[in-house]
């Protein structure tokens, strides 16, 4: 999933001062540059060699997390393939301001993991409930009874028994590998949480190497490519363990019977990365696109942290580079810039240019570094969308758009989602087929379009 979160942390208000907006924009632009990543990676390798340390990959396993179950299935193959030292830390679920909707996230991790598992040749049982508490306690205890390096081999069988509800298999693992006391288990998880926090992250199913984080099987390809560049791939030239997924909707074109609802906001880095490609997918596949803009998370009071925000901007820039998408020259559109554009959206949509307006805004804010708070900046956005600025000015600041965005937010939440970019695919009768969050879920949407068209 996108992974899975939208807005930069650390912004306490939805309308920062012009100075703060400018400073944040320059910082994020610098943070997103590819040369920065190259320099950081080179520096990490110099420091590792100087300290005489091995190539060590640290994995952070959250036992009750669906994404961790998928990541756990590739650990042993990862260790066999790459010439690295792999260790496994145990961590609790994210909490506080790093977990805006913890219950929804837990449910989504199970639903989403089920959707993406086949694409990676992995397995996730078809059920909707959380793991059985008795088995969860045993799984935590089994893994906590062993040091980080030795846990790697135990993650997959323990996680498989847990998610399949297999009491017999879990008891066999207890008999063979032991069970830590409650105190020792709590200590092991506290140590994992501490280590994760010291490296400035908050989530489970995360891989860490040389100053950079990689989320689950979705981002593992970045790490695999990095290790290959360091000549650490023992099977160089073969397909990656978790290759990047690309949308494929097939050769049959829909006649507009299917509908793709696209929930997007104007301050979401991940929305900026995927917006035009999502629009193109609907157009090329013949699916009806229904754009449903929502307020950015931080503008609707959803908390975030600086740690979370820094990871999101780094990861979005990395994903944009992998997709060949223009991105990284950033001018923060939080607050009034976003509101002003939203106030023009109903007018633009009535003229058949609503999608073009949002696309233009995202491009100018995230790729061209245009200050959309100013009149000259917003004029560039409007005119690039094929609209007349002289007419747009008469609608600027119009009311009524707030209710539409709130209606979209409610529909998004009712689908089990709370952030953007999110997608909901509807069949010919208007019934939901799949609802997913993340710019890295467009391939699942394409797969479902292909499946539905093949069944007609």
Task: Output the six-digit token pair for 255.
Answer: 């006649």
Q: How far, in Å, CA of 193 to CA of 201, rounded? A: 9
pTM: 0.94
3-state class (DSSP) for residue 171: helix
**Residue 23: C-alpha distances to residues 56, 103, 363, 366, 372 (Å):** 35, 35, 20, 15, 15
Domain segments of the chain: what residues? 56-229, 259-455
Q: What is the pLDDT along the chain (456 residues), one digit of tens a residue?
A: 433 333 333 333 456 688 888 888 988 898 889 999 999 999 999 999 999 999 999 999 999 999 999 999 999 999 999 999 999 999 999 988 888 888 999 999 999 999 999 999 999 998 778 999 999 999 999 999 999 999 999 999 999 999 999 999 999 999 999 999 999 999 999 999 999 999 999 999 999 999 999 999 999 999 999 999 999 999 999 999 999 999 999 999 999 999 999 999 999 999 999 999 999 999 999 999 999 999 998 788 776 788 888 899 999 999 999 999 999 999 999 999 999 999 999 999 999 999 999 999 999 999 999 999 999 999 999 999 999 999 999 999 999 899 999 999 999 999 999 999 999 999 999 999 999 999 999 999 999 999 999 987
Which of 204, 189, 66 has the alpha carbon at shortest distance from 125?
Answer: 66
- Cis peptide bond upstream of 280, omega within 30: no
Q: How far, in Å, CA of 201 to CA of 341, rounded? A: 33
Enumerate residues 6+ apart whose C-beta is below 8 A from 450: 248, 249, 250, 252
The answer to whether 56-229 and 259-455 have equal CATH topology is yes
Task: Output the six-digit token pair for 13.
Answer: 């208000």
CATH code for the domain defined by 56-229: 3.40.30.10
CATH topology of domain 259-455: Glutaredoxin (3.40.30)
**H helices then E strands: how many in the chain?**
18, 8
């Amino acid at each position: 999933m996108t992974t899975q979160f939208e807005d930069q942390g650390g912004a306490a208000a939805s309308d920062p001062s012009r100075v703060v907006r400018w400073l944040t924009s320059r910082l994020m632009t610098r943070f997103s540059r590819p040369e920065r990543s190259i320099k950081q990676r080179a520096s990490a390798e110099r420091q590792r060699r100087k300290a005489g340390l091995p190539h060590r990959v640290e994995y952070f396993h959250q036992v009750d997390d669906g994404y961790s179950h998928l990541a756990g299935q590739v650990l042993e193959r990862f260790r066999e393939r790459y010439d690295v030292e792999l260790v496994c830390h145990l961590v609790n679920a994210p909490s506080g301001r790093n977990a805006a909707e913890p219950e929804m996230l837990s449910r989504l991790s199970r639903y989403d993991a089920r959707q993406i598992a086949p694409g990676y040749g992995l397995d996730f049982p078809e059920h909707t409930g959380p793991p059985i508490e008795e088995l969860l306690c045993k799984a935590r205890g089994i893994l906590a009874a062993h040091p980080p390096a030795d846990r790697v081999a135990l993650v997959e069988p323990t996680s498989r028994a847990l998610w399949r509800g297999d009491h017999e298999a879990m008891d066999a693992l207890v008999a063979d590998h032991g069970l830590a006391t409650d105190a020792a288990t709590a200590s092991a998880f506290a140590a994992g949480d501490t280590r994760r926090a010291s490296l400035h992250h908050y989530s489970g199913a995360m891989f860490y190497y040389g100053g950079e984080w990689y989320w689950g099987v979705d981002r593992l390809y970045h790490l695999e490519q990095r290790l290959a560049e360091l000549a650490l791939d023992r099977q160089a030239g073969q397909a990656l363990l978790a290759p990047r997924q690309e949308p494929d909707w097939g050769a049959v074109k829909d006649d507009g019977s299917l509908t793709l609802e696209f929930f997007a906001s104007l301050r979401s880095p991940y929305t900026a990365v995927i917006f035009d490609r999502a629009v193109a997918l609907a157009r090329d596949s013949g699916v009806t696109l229904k754009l449903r803009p929502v307020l950015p998370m931080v503008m609707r009071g959803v908390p975030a942290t600086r740690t979370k925000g820094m990871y999101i901007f780094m990861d979005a820039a990395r994903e944009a580079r992998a997709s060949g998408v223009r991105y990284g020259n950033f001018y923060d559109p939080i607050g009034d810039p976003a509101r002003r554009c939203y106030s023009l959206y109903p007018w633009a949509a009535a003229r058949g240019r609503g999608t073009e307006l949002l696309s233009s805004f995202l491009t100018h804010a995230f790729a061209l570094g245009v200050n959309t708070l100013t009149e000259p900046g917003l004029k560039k956005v409007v005119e690039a969308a094929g609209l007349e600025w002289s007419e747009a000015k008469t609608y600027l600041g119009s009311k009524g758009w707030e209710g539409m965005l709130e209606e979209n937010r409610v529909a998004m939440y009712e689908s089990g989602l709370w952030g953007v970019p999110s997608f909901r695919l509807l069949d010919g009768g208007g019934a939901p087929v799949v609802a997913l969050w993340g710019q890295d879920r467009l391939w699942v949407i394409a797969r479902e379009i292909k499946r539905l068209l093949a069944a007609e």
